[in-house]
Amino acid sequence: MAPRALDESAVARFEESVLPQLGAAYNLARWLTRNEHDAQDLVQEALLRAFKGFQGFRGTDPRAWLLAIVRNGCYTWLRRGRAQEVTTPFDEEVHTPDGGILNPERLVLREADTTRVRQALEELPVEFREVLVLREIEGLSYKEIATVADIPVGTVMSRLARARGRLQRGLAGPQVEER
């Protein structure tokens, strides 16, 4: 039996509740896949799945619901072995406000710091990257992360602690160069 088409009010509710979450969906997909174009494709697929399944959505948090769909799509994609493909580096300059008030030296230092953090974050295992992005970048609560990742809250807390520790060690690693 074919799924019923959404009526106009359901489409309006979908647009009102789910579409504002696209930025968070892309951000999660981008960090999980490490590839801008794959992230865009996966978010588009997730949005299509969300639209098709919206009639069955009975939850109160469309953000967590959409992020769970994105996460599941990303993990399916990663399991297919595409994580080893050549990736396009994420251009932080495109996604940051104009730094015109900083002098050139500060701009170079900020860019170097941003690059180090991005590289350290990308080196984390995907399950650690996932919880860090959801908590620190997307601002989800532990309970929301548990819902999105389909894991207990205690596991969220443990993964966050381990991810933060690994990130800290990655950032404190061999950076001592010429001074």
Phi-psi region for residue 34, left (φ > 0), alpha (ψ -120 to 50) or beta?
left
pLDDT tens column, 12-21? 889 999 999 9
Residues 6 or more apart from 153 whose CB is under 8 A from it? 142, 143, 146
- Mean predicted confidence (pLDDT) in 83-106: 49
Instruction: Compute the distance between CA of residue 107 and CA of residue 93 in angstroms, rounded to an integer.
Output: 11
Tell me the pLDDT band of 99, cut-offs 50, 70 and 90. very low
Give pTM, 2 decimals. Answer: 0.65
Share above pLDDT 70 across residues of the chain, in percent, rounded to a whole number: 76
Distance CA 31, CA 29 (A): 6
pLDDT higher than threshold 60 for residue 102: no
What mean pLDDT is predicted for residues 39-45?
Answer: 95
Of 146, 172, 177, whose CA–CA distance to 159 is shortest? 146
pLDDT tens-digit readout, 55-94: 888 878 899 999 999 999 999 999 887 544 434 444 444 4
The stretch 112-130 carries a mean pLDDT of: 85
